[in-house]
Amino acid sequence: MLTLKKMTGDGNCLFHALAHGSEENGVHLRALIIQYLEDNAASQENEEQVEAWYQEAEYLQSNASHWGGDTAIIAFTLMRQQRVILHWRTDDGHIQTSERTHTEVQDTAERFRHAGQDNAEIIHLWYNGRDHYDLLVPSQEQPPAPAPRAANQPQPTHDEASPPPPPPPPPPPHPEPRPPKRRKTAASRAQSKQQAPAQGAEETSEAAPAPPVEDGPTLLEELTSMPVAAKATHPRRKLEDALTRFANTHLRAQPLIPPEAKAENVDSGEAWPQVFCAFRGCTWSLPSGTEKRLHQHVKDAHAPELGLVAQHLPRPMPADALTSVYNEAIALRCREAAPVAGSSRDRSALRSFAEATSKDNVESLICFSCACIHPRVADTAASGRIDWHRLIQSPASNDGSHAESTESLHELLSMDRYLERY
C-alpha cells in the first residue's frame, strides 16, 4: 500500500518530493537539476530532447515559482540513477501509472532485476492533474503484534480488538495531468519493442500501467511539414493573378479620381467629370455621362488589355466579360488603401444622386397582373422587378377577326376605360 504525503505548494513541490528521504532540500535539488539539464542537454539522443532540456532549464531558472515537469523528472532519474513512477487519477476515477525514468536508467534496472539484485528504491509521485506534485510512500502493511495479556487482565472489548481503519485514498485531483512530452523513456520506445514485464508489488498496487504513448509526429509538426505546391493549380488562381497584374500595371493608383485631379486637392470642391476612364495615360472623361458610355469607351479603347484577363473566365464567356474585368480591377485597386473622401468627391456623388432621382427616373409601378407595387429606378431597370411593357401591339395583318379582337382589347384595356372605371 502507498500513502499520500503532502508537499508544500511553493513552486518546488516536485523537488521536495524527489528530495524526500535524503539530506538535501527541494530548493537545493532544483538548482542541481537546472545545472544538470544545462550540462547534459547536448548529450541527448535527438534534437527534440536537446531543445526540451534547454527549455526546461531556462524555464525553471527564469522564475522561482515555476514548477518542474516531465523533463525535470527524467533528468533527475538520470542524475541520481533512480527510478520514478508517476500516478494520477483520470476524470472517470481510474488511477493511471506511468514510469518516467530515463531509458539508460531503465535498462540498468532491467539488468539488475534479471540478476536478482534489484534493491533500488523507487520514488512514487502523485500528480493532481494541474499544477502540484505530492509523494506516495509505502505504508505499514501489518500492525505490530499486541503484547501478551496477563492472566488477570480483562478481555478486550470489540472496539479495542478491531484493527484501525485503513488510511483514506489520495484526494481526487483535477481531471487530467499535463500531457507529457515525448522524451527518452521506455514508454516512447513502445512501438519498437514490447513493454517491459510488470514491476514489483509496489508498482502494481494502484492500477495497471498506462497504455504506451505513441511515438509519432504531433498535429503541429504535421501542419508545419505539409508540402505546398510551388505553383497553384486551381483554375480561379490564374484569373486572380491576371487581375492583380492587370490592376497594378494598367490602372491608376487612385482610379476613383479623374485623370486631371490630384488626391491632395480632393477637398477643393471642384466639379469633377461624371464619368472618366481609370486606365493610366487615358484622359477620356465626360462632364455629364452615364456608366453605359463609360463601358462603351472601355470596350472600344482598351479591349486588348481586358481580353488578356477575360480569357481566364469560365466558358461560355459572358457578354459583359470586359466590363466585369474592368470593374473588378478597380475594386482591387480601391482595396489597397483607404477610400478617398473630400468635398469634390461628395459633390460628384450628390450630383449623380440628383440626376438619378429626377423626373421619371424613380417610379412606383403597379403590376398589371397582381396589383403589387414595386419601385423602378431607370439606371437599374434591366435588373429590377418591374418595368413598362406594351400589352397591345399593332395588328400584324389585315385579318378582320384579328382586328376585331384588337378593338375589343383596346376597349377593355384602354386608358379611358381605366379612368372611367377606377
For 368, the domain range is: 358-390
212 and 256: one domain?
Answer: no
Element (H, E) at 3: strand 2-5
Are residues 266 and 371 part of one domain?
no
Query: In this structure, is residue 305 part of a structural domain?
Result: yes
Q: Are residues 33 and 108 both part of a single domain?
A: yes
Phi, psi of 149 (to 5 degrees): -85, 150
More confident residue, 373 or 20: 373
Cα of 245 vs its chain's centroid, Å: 31
Query: Considering 356, 379, 412, which residue would you say is the last residue of a domain?
Result: 356
Q: Give yes or no for residue 366 having a pLDDT over 50.
A: yes
C-alpha closest to that of 246 among 320, 324, 318, 314: 324
In a domain, 247, yes or no: yes
Residue 407 lies in a domain: no
**Grid cell locating 9:** 505548494
227-277 pLDDT, tens digit per residue, is 777 777 787 888 999 999 999 999 998 898 898 888 888 888 888 888 999
pLDDT in tens, 291-303: 889 999 999 999 9
Task: Provide the pLDDT for residue 139.
Answer: 76
Q: How confident is the model at residue 61 (pLDDT cuts 50, 70, 90)?
A: confident
Residues 167 and 256 in one domain: no
Number of domains within the chain: 3
Q: What angle do CA 96, 98, 99 make, to 5 degrees?
A: 155
Bridging pattern class, strands 84-89 and 123-127: parallel
> Are both 170 and 80 inside the same structural domain?
yes
The last residue of a domain, from among 337, 356, 375: 356
Report yes or no on 382 lying in a domain.
yes
Tell the burial category of 52 from Cβ atoms under 10 Å away from its Cβ (0-12, 13-18, 19+): buried
Grid cell locating 401: 377577326
Residues with Cβ within 8 Å of residue 260, at least 6 apart in sequence: 283, 285
pLDDT band at 64 (very low <50, low <70, confident <90, very high): confident
Measured distance CA(299)–CA(306) in Å, rounded: 8
Which of 356, 376, 403 marks a domain boundary?
356
Give yes or no: residues 171 and 130 share one domain.
Answer: yes
pLDDT given for residue 155 in this prediction: 55
Domain-embedded: residue 397: no
Q: Which of 179, 80, 70 is nearest to 133 (CA)?
A: 70
DSSP3 helix / strand / coil % (the chain, rounded to 5):
40, 10, 50
Closest to 183 (Cα-Cα) out of 126, 105, 107, 100: 100
pLDDT tens, residue by residue, 386-400: 988 776 565 555 555
Same domain, residue pair 185 and 37: yes
Selected residue with higher pLDDT from 173 and 284: 284
Q: In sequence order, which ranges of 251-396 are alpha helices (DSSP H)?
A: 291-310, 321-334, 343-356
Q: What pLDDT digit, counting tens, does each position of 186-209 carry?
A: 555 554 454 444 444 444 444 445
Contact criterion met (CB below 8 Å) for 67 and 151 = no
pLDDT surpasses 50 at 170: no
What pLDDT does residue 394 have?
59
Cβ–Cβ under 8 Å, residues 111 and 64: no
Q: Are 255 and 138 contained in the same domain?
A: no
Does any domain span residue 57?
A: yes
119: in domain: yes
Q: Cα 234 from chain centroid?
A: 24
> Are 346 and 368 contained in the same domain?
no
**154 DSSP assignment:** P
Same domain assignment for residues 111 and 198:
yes
CATH number at residue 86: 3.90.70
Distance between CA atoms of 20 and 128, rounded to whole angstroms?
18
Whether 350 and 373 map to the same domain: the answer is: no
Q: What value, to the nearest 5°, has the Cα angle with vertex 218 and ends 216 and 223?
A: 125
Which comes out higher in pLDDT, residue 224 or 362? 362
Does position 117 have pLDDT exceeding 80, yes or no? no
- Give yes or no: residues 78 and 91 share one domain: yes
Q: Are 19 and 80 in contact (CB under 8 A)?
A: no
Asked whether residue 214 is domain-assigned, the answer is yes
Indicate the pairing of strand 275-276 with strand 133-138: unpaired
What global pTM score does this model have? 0.39
Residue type, 197: P
Q: What angle do CA 50, 54, 57 make, to 5 degrees?
A: 140
Tell me if residue 160 falls in helix, strand or coil.
helix
